[in-house]
């Protein structure tokens, strides 16, 4: 098995968009339940990640997020701790963290061998686990 040290990125059409109908997202959590206290907490399992389309320099944003993720893995940090580290060390990245309702996601794709291919959430979850 190939060891990947980066968070999985996906592209898709988002039916519930307000600003970006075609997000490019670096995934933090594929089964995000929300924050305690939110009226939807625990009722949905959404996709949580950084929308890279909002960054002026996507490559720098990817690198920064992946570096923090790699360091957090060494520290055995969970997703909340990873997010807190990004928020602390790279506050500009934290503002682009988005929650996507899975039912609003159409045409989910991941990059494989330089090409974007159609996929589903089971495959994304598998890729996400492989990158841990």
The rounded mean pLDDT for the chain is: 85
Identify the sign of the CA torsion 113, 117, 123, 127. Answer: positive
Tens digits of per-residue pLDDT, 59-90? 988 888 888 778 777 777 777 787 777 778 77
Residue 3: its pLDDT value, please? 45
Cα separation of 50 and 106, whole Å? 18
Residue 4: its pLDDT value, please? 52
């Amino acid at each position: 098995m190939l060891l990947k040290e980066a968070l999985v990125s996906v592209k898709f059409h988002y039916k519930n968009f307000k600003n970006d109908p075609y997000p490019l997202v670096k995934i933090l959590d594929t089964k995000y339940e929300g924050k305690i206290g939110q009226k939807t907490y625990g009722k949905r399992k959404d996709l949580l990640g950084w929308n890279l389309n909002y960054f002026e320099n996507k490559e720098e944003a990817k690198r920064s997020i992946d570096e923090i993720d790699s360091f957090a893995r060494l520290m055995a940090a969970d997703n909340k701790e990873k997010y807190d580290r990004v928020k602390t060390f790279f506050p500009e990245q934290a503002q682009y963290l988005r929650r996507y309702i899975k039912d609003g996601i159409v045409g989910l794709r991941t990059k494989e061998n330089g090409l974007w291919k159609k996929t589903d959430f089971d495959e994304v979850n598998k890729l996400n686990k492989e990158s841990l």
